[in-house]
Structure 1
Amino acid sequence: MIHLQQLKRSLEEYRVLICFSGQFSQGIVEQLCDSIKGHLSEGPGTKQNPMRVISIFVEQAQNIINYNQVKKNHKYYDQFLESSIVTIGKNGENFFVTSGNIIDNNDLQPLLKKIDYLNSLEPGDLKTLYKEVMKNGGFEELERSAGLGLIHMARKSKSPIEYESYPINEELSYFQINVNS
């Protein structure tokens, strides 16, 4: 049996306010957005608009949903679906949104390169890149850039996007991303 008090202590230690683990869907994302908005609006010392945190949460959840859609014929599809988690917490006066999911190792290095590229850009360059991606194909990716969701998160983040990956086996890794707002 899971020791819930120990889990609660771990969540408190990391200052996690909201955590969801499991299969993401549009309906779940919408329900979580409502819950997040209420929770962050009512929290003590909340000085910032919860919409910034919500927009980062939506981008992270949407990236997981989209990735799972693309991989629906993958032999590890069920593991992809069940591996998703997102947390929202508070770090001092700022919030963080951290999510994670299993990804195919063939997708890992291109993703890390995109994030590193975005982290190397100044805010004005991110804005220009965002407009360029919007102009040249909407949600399609440019060869030298990342998708709109990653660009949006980089623009909203108060610091470089953080990430980690952990190998699971020869074909899969667990990838997590953290955005501070």
Structure 2
Amino acid sequence: MNYIYNIHKTMVEENIILVYEGEFTQEITKAVLSMAEKKLDSKGEESNIKRKVFNVMVECLQNICKHSEALSVPNERKAIFMIGSEEDCYIITSGNMIANKDIQGLSEKLEKINSLDKDGLKNFYKELIQNNEMSDKGGAGLGFVDIARKSGQKLEYNFEKVDSEYSFFSFKSKIARISE
């Protein structure tokens, strides 16, 4: 039973505000968003910071739901979502399985987003909307562009190969706690 204390200790040390691990549905997503909103309210966070955090959370949770639904193996549809805080920022982290065949395209899109400045992100966002470039899962990468725009930070990500079909996609975004 020491693992429970170890998990608790890690969450305190890492300033984790909220963690959910399991299968994500629309109902669970709503519950996670509601809990996170209450946590931010209890911290007395400024409304514009809460709005940015909330928007990034929504995008991350939608990505999990979209991509997890596409996987055929039920246990592979589980994912993790966390919100943490540091003195100067909130950290939103998510992780979910993705098909190995999707890694190259996703990686290229994330690298392109990371290569752009503020104006470049704005133009790329408009370009994606105008070209209506939708993937077979319904996304055009607008969510990741929106996260980069809202956070003003580079997107951090990693792919950990699980087997010949799947990898675990980890994603992290930081939102400054200081209004711009």
Identity %: 28
Give the match for residue 80 of structure 1.
Answer: 76
TM-superposed CA distance for 1:171, in Å, is: 2.0
- Deviation by residue 1:37-93 (Cα, 9 ceiling, x = unmatched): 11112116x34531211111111110111112233xx3xx213212x0000011222
Give the match for residue 173 of structure 2.
Answer: 179
Q: CA RMSD in A?
A: 1.9
Give secondary structure in 1 for the equivalent of 2:27.
Answer: helix
Contact kept in structure 1, 2:118 and 2:152, CA below 8 Å: no
Give the match for residue 98 of structure 1.
Answer: 93
Give the match for residue 156 of structure 2.
Answer: 162
Taking structure 1 as the reference length, the TM-score comes to: 0.86
Taking structure 2 as the reference length, the TM-score comes to: 0.87
Amino acid at match of 2:97: I
TM-superposed CA distance for 1:161, in Å, is: 0.4
Contact kept in structure 2, 1:37 and 1:51, CA below 8 Å: no
Contact kept in structure 1, 2:159 and 2:170, CA below 8 Å: yes
Amino acid at match of 2:75: Q
Give the match for residue 50 of structure 1.
Answer: 50
Alignment of 1:27-46 (within 5 A): 27-43=27-43, 46=45
Amino acid at match of 1:42: S
Give the match for residue 129 of structure 2.
Answer: 134
TM-superposed CA distance for 1:101, in Å, is: 0.8
Give secondary structure in 2 for the equivalent of 1:11.
Answer: helix
Give the match for residue 112 of structure 2.
Answer: 117
The whole-number CA distance in structure 1 between the counterparts of 2:131 and 2:2 is 49
The whole-number CA distance in structure 2 between the counterparts of 1:31 and 1:167 is 30
Contact kept in structure 2, 1:79 and 1:102, CA below 8 Å: no
The whole-number CA distance in structure 1 between the counterparts of 2:2 and 2:23 is 20
- Count of aligned residue pairs for this structure pair: 171
The whole-number CA distance in structure 1 between the counterparts of 2:8 and 2:134 is 40
Amino acid at match of 1:155: R
The whole-number CA distance in structure 2 between the counterparts of 1:5 and 1:113 is 40
Amino acid at match of 2:142: L
